[in-house]
Amino acid sequence: MDLFYYINPQTLFTIIGGLLLLISGLMTFFLIDKNLECKKLQSDLNKLVRSFHEIDEQAKLIVKTDLELNKAQEELDKRLNGLEALQKTSRLISTTLDEIEIFTRIDKSLMMDLGFEKNLILVYDSAHKFKCRVDLGFSKEEIEHILISLQNDEELQSALKAGNIFSSATQATLKNDKIIKIFRVAHFVLTPILCKNGMLGVLCVGNRSDASAVTAGDEELISILANQIGQSLENAQLFEQVYRSSQILESKVQDRTKQLASALEEVQKISKTKSEFISAVSHELRTPLTSIKGYASILMTGKLGEIPESVHERLDKINKHSDNLVKMINDLLDISRIESGRAEMRFEKHKLAALIENVHDILTPQLREKNIHWTIQIDAGIDEIPMDRNQIERVFINLVGNAIKFTPPEGTITVTARIDEKMVQVEVTDTGIGISSEDLPKLFDEFYRVENDINQYVKGTGLGLSLVKKIIEAHQGKIWATSEPNKGTTFHFTLPLEKNIPDQTLPEGS
């Protein structure tokens, strides 16, 4: 208090004024500072609001992405199921070649796996009319309506035949509207079932509700399935065609076999009659011929009186011709006996080389006469083989005799024998006039003689090769000839190494 007494009021006012100024200065400073702080806070707040908005946006994006992901997952699951169903269907239908079985295998549960409410497979029948083969989710009336409407809609059919696939996943068209009306589905895929020869039918799948609209993926899946069905149906149809052709062929073969069997029977009957006739005639001819030959011989001896030279000459001719006739008759009798199985084949083991050597000895005069070279080559492994010695000797005499007859002087005749599996193959080769390819197939026919220069002058019956063939066949062998005109001929025949046929016994009195 004492202090106020000593300070004059002016000073006091000055002090108070100074204090007030200081306080207001401090206040101003404080307010400025607060203001700055407020501004900072405001900017932070703004930042926070912005961040909040950003976070909100991001949250919304995440929710949206999540929804999309869920949707994509659903779509993926659907496609996976569809693909599994497609794979199962493909596997099932590609392993059958029966059309009915194909549609039995595409059953309703399989269709359901594809994930569509409505499924329909229509296929053309033989009258080219649509027929329902598989259906799911359609009523009878609806199917009836679809069959009639589609059958009558030439334009839609043509578009399908051209390979067009219709789907509600693509842009709406007039045809799509039509399909919605025909099939009574809001969402659909309608695809043709095609094969190489055109359209076999159609496949339609669909859903009624908007929640299950079809996608481009569905369209692809259904078109693959339709292709698979088309391929399986085509395979089944081809198999059916092949099977039917084979049935026809088989019945034709059976008919032909029957005809051939009866023709063979007829030929056998005729051949038997011919053999019997030849045999009877030959027997009848042989007796008087023997008498003629006998009388001619007696006359030639002169015992019945001297005969002039000119008569002797004619009697000699009668004798020679009678010999030829006897030979011919004997050949004919042998052919008919072997043919009818009445000839006796006495199978015994004989050395082939010795037999051929014997034939060579018999024919040596003729060989010498024409100065024909004779060679023989027999495989070391060939020793004794089962045969009727006399008959096989006849075969060699005929073949070598012919070879001599049809080979010019200085020629060569070669006889070879070698083992070919279970047979011995013999070849008689000459360097003679040869035989033309037209004559070769007829060579073994009875009385067949080739028209050539030698045959014009040399007598023959045309029975030799026929008899040879019969003998070889009676031994279960085969005979054939190869030849080149003017170069030579080879006769080939086979004989079994082991006997596999029983002895044939000649009936008494034949």
Residues lying near ligand ADP in the complex (CB under 6 A): 398, 402-403, 406, 430, 432-433, 435, 443, 448-450, 452, 455, 460-466, 489
Judged by beta carbon, residue 114 or residue 403, the one nearer ligand ADP is: 403
The residue type of 349 is K
Query: Please, which residue, 237 or 482, has the CB nearer to ligand ADP?
Result: 482
Nearest approach in angstroms of CB 491 to ligand ADP is: 7
- Whose tokens are 């011989």? That residue is 297
Shortest distance, CB of residue 435 to ligand ADP, whole angstroms? 5
CB of 451 to ligand ADP, least distance (A): 8
Closer CB to ligand ADP, 222 or 433, in the complex: 433
Strands 198-207 and 166-167: unpaired
* Two structure tokens written together for 200: 């076999």
In 3D, which of 135, 133, 143 has the Cα closest to residue 100? 133
Gap between the Cα atoms of 180 and 156, Å rounded: 13
Q: Which is nearer to ligand ADP, 123 or 392 (CB)?
A: 392
The least distance separating ligand ADP from the CB of residue 416, rounded to whole angstroms, comes to 15
Tell me how far, at minimum, the Cβ of 437 lies from ligand ADP, in Å.
Answer: 13
CA-CA-CA-CA torsion sign (463, 467, 473, 479):
negative
Residue listed under structure tokens 């659909």: 188
Q: Which two tokens stand for residue 161?
A: 């035949």
Taking Cα atoms as reference points, which of 215, 121, 199 lies closest to residue 160?
199
Strand order in the sheet with 166-167: 130-136, 118-124, 198-207, 187-195, 166-167
Closest CA to 206 of 227, 235, 229, 176: 176
391-425 burial: b if 16+ Cβ within 10 Å, else e: bbbbbbbbbbbbbbbbbeeebebbbbbeeeeebbb
Q: Which is nearer to ligand ADP, 206 or 432 (CB)?
A: 432
Q: How far is the CB of 354 from ligand ADP (least distance, A)?
A: 24
Between 32 and 376, name the residue whose CB sits nearer to ligand ADP. Answer: 376
Q: Which is nearer to ligand ADP, 386 or 460 (CB)?
A: 460
C-alpha span between 16 and 3 (Å, rounded): 14
- Measured from the CB atom, the residue of 438 and 508 that comes closer to ligand ADP is 438
**Beta carbons within 8 Å of 403's beta carbon, 6+ residues apart:** 413, 428, 429, 430, 432, 489, 491
Q: Smallest gap, in angstroms, from Cβ of residue 364 to ligand ADP?
A: 18
Residue 407: CB minimum distance to ligand ADP, A: 7
DSSP-derived 3-state class of residue 351: strand
Q: Do residues 442 and 481 touch, judged by C-beta distance below 8 A?
A: no
Residue by residue, DSSP assigns 232-258 as HHHHHHHHHHHHHHHHHHHHHHHHHHH
Instruction: Give per-residue burial for 464-501: e unless 16+ CB within 10 Å, then b.
Output: bbbbbbbbbebbebebebebeeeebbbbebbbbbebee
Q: Of 371 and 486, which CB lies nearer to ligand ADP in the complex structure?
A: 486
Look up residue 440 and give its two tokens.
Answer: 């070769």
Shorter beta-carbon distance to ligand ADP: residue 278 or 450: 450
DSSP 106: S
* Residue 468 C-beta: closest distance to ligand ADP, Å: 7
Give the number of other CB atoms < 10 A from CB of residue 250: 10
Look-up: residue for tokens 């038997």? 272
Q: How many other CB atoms are found less than 10 A from the CB of residue 187?
A: 23
- 494 three-state secondary structure: strand
Identify which of residues 153 and 427 has a Cβ nearer to ligand ADP in the complex. 427
The least CB distance from residue 394 to ligand ADP, in Å, is 11
Q: How far is the CB of 328 from ligand ADP (least distance, A)?
A: 9
Q: How far is the CB of 310 from ligand ADP (least distance, A)?
A: 30
Amino acid at 18: G
State the minimum distance, in angstroms, from the CB of residue 279 to ligand ADP.
Answer: 19
